[in-house]
A and B are shown apart, each in its own frame.
Chain A
Amino acid sequence: MLSLDHVSFSRCHRPILNQVSLAIPAGEFTAILGANGAGKSTLLSLLAGELTPQHGHVRWAGQDLRELANSQLARVRAVLPQNPGLGFNLSVDEVIAMGAYPFAELSPSAVAEVIQAAQQWADVSHLTGRRYPTLSGGEQQRVQFARVLVQALAAQQAGEYRCVLLDEPTSSLDPLHQHGLLAAAQKLAQEAGIAVVAVLHDVNLAARYCSRITMLAKGSIIASGIPCDVLTPDHLQQTYQLAATVIAHPQDPKRPLVLFDC
């Protein structure tokens, strides 16, 4: 299991995260919520192994992330970055196939199988054969998501712990595709038993799809747990500096619905 153990991180002597501890359990879809500059993306980068904390440890199954080889980590952890850009002329299929790069041992047919599944999950089957630079921003985002799905699903053994990190995956998507992507991520957690973490801005989307929510404010965790425990007016005030009303969702009473009062 991937976990943060009293992690502190600062950039140019400016503290960004302070004594953060968090576990990312398998089969759960965890949302990370917080205002701008709360340290959400830094938290994700620490989980991804891109950054090393000044204090504390990021652990993978008890082992410090620094001790794991990059190539080893890539076989169990996939990341969807915030603004995937691409200046070079590749086809959609070539981009999606990159998800299988860490698994050089897979046969071409096995790779093709995973790619097909990922394309369906990410709803990009109709984009095959297109050149990546000709796609719209939202389409590019979904193609990148399909690549991440390939990396998450390829050669997965039964019961193997794997983790997928999504940094603001819905930022350039229309409402329909926002729901589509988050539903696919939820399915990834529930059906493939993968630990999914997403940095999100929309509180109600998080409440709809995520099984756990972690709220960050000024580099510290305010609350962490199941949505109806975490999404309280008090926590929301602390996180966003906004007064909020939380009611039961009219169509799904177990799910909280957040209304910001402004």
Chain B
Amino acid sequence: MCCRLLIPNWLAGLLATGVLLILLVFTASHGAVQIPLSAIPDLLLMNAPLLSDEQQFWRDVLLEIRLPRVLFAALAGGVLALAGATMQALFRNPLAEPGLIGISSGASLGAVSAIVLGGGSFAILAPAAFLGSILATALAYHLGRRYAGMAGLLLAGIAINAICGSLMGLFTYLADDNQLRSLTFWNMGSLAGATWQRLALLGPFLLLISIWIMRYWRAMNALLLGEREALHLGFAIKGLRRKLIVLVALLIGPLVAATGGIGFVGLVVPHCARMLLGADHRRLLPASFLLGAIALVLADYIARIAVVPAELPIGVVTSLIGGPFFLWLLLSRKS
């Protein structure tokens, strides 16, 4: 426990925000299209008519393609990690993640049925994935209410996941070759569709929900003590559980719809944050958000850079790097 970072909250927050900003600038200035670093200030500051064709091209790449993408990566990473931390608090289990109550498999089922039954254009796919995640979560919550505590929700989630999985199997069986490939790629996740429009559509909403969730830090701390203790401290557990689940579903549903499955961030990042800063949710929630943003921006950078001019699927990178990193962290802390 002595290895915990003993720095004040404001400094830690400032530090992480600084790292994130530097990373955003750094990763935005690298990519398949080589833009000299020295040219970037000109690109940003000069008037469009004064730029050469080459510069104009660089500017478009930088502002229209990379910038929305790195910003979207930061947003998605932050949201995934925050949702993970919230689920871990809610279930009082460090292995919990949004997938536990059917959010992800519901979204996958929605996406798969859109691909197989509806042709799979983004206009159908995204709403279907969102709807799937919300419906699966609502069903898991509704069924789980009958039991006391989180056990009911957990069991209902397992059942919902199994049902979604088998239905997905059925759709996969019905799918033709092209649909199968669409499916595979959707499950691996992608940030390639990030545009300013999508950022403008999702960004404010997701940030608002994130801040809303962070306001529940007291309740989540109280839950660490136990459900009875949280009750004694004035947190109505049933209402709290419903609120947090709705908020997490509102975070993850639209995000998964837009990016597909990006694994591991929601599980590992809150863990790392907890190891660094302890379990106090006042710090843990914002720290998870910032660390998640940093992690996904980095992972996306690797995905974009590793096999230039092609690209790796982002979900593959997060698991490929997140897994060993997490193991290393666990082993190095034990000794």
Residues in chain A within 8 A of chain B (CB atoms):
48, 50, 69-75, 77-79, 81, 84-91, 94-95, 98-99, 101-102, 104, 131, 133-134, 151
The DSSP consensus for interface residues of chain B is loop
Q: Is the CB of A131 within 8 A of B229?
A: no
Q: With A and B bound together, what is the CA distance between A75 and B226 in angstroms?
A: 19
> 0/1 per residue, B210-250, Cβ < 8 Å to A?
00000000100110111011011111100000000000000
B46 within 8 A of A: no
Q: With A and B bound together, what is the CA distance between A94 and B225 in angstroms?
A: 11
A85-B226, A88-B274, A99-B233 given. 12 additional CB < 8 A pairs? A50-B228, A69-B236, A79-B232, A81-B228, A86-B224, A90-B221, A90-B278, A94-B280, A102-B233, A131-B278, A133-B1, A151-B233
Residue on B with the closest CB to A88? B279
**Range class of the B interface residue count:** 20 to 34
Q: Is the CB of B231 within 8 A of A70?
A: yes
Contacts of B145 in A (CB 8 A): none
Q: How many cross-chain pairs have Cβ atoms below 8 Å apart between A and B?
A: 77
B30 within 8 A of A: no
Contacts of B4 in A (CB 8 A): 89, 131
Q: How far is the CB of B148 from chain A (nearest CB, A)?
A: 11
Closest 5 interchain pairs by CB?
A74-B234, A88-B279, A131-B1, A79-B232, A71-B234
The DSSP consensus for interface residues of chain A is mixed
Residue on A with the closest CB to B280? A94
Contacts of A131 in B (CB 8 A): 1, 4, 278
Q: Is the CB of B225 within 8 A of A134?
A: no
Q: A50-B228, A70-B231 are in contact. Are A101 and B279 (CB under 8 A)?
A: no
Q: Is the CB of A73 within 8 A of B234?
A: yes
Q: Is the CB of B92 within 8 A of A81?
A: no
Q: Is the CB of B232 within 8 A of A48?
A: yes
20 contacting pairs across A/B (C-beta < 8 A): A70-B231, A71-B234, A74-B235, A79-B232, A81-B229, A84-B229, A87-B92, A87-B224, A88-B92, A88-B274, A88-B279, A89-B278, A89-B279, A91-B280, A94-B221, A94-B278, A98-B222, A101-B221, A102-B234, A104-B218
Contacts of B279 in A (CB 8 A): 88-90
Residue on A with the closest CB to B232? A79
Q: Is the CB of A84 within 8 A of B1?
A: no
- Choose from B92, B226, B234 the contact partner of A101 (Cβ within 8 Å): B234
Q: With A and B bound together, what is the CA distance between A29 and B234 in angstroms?
A: 23
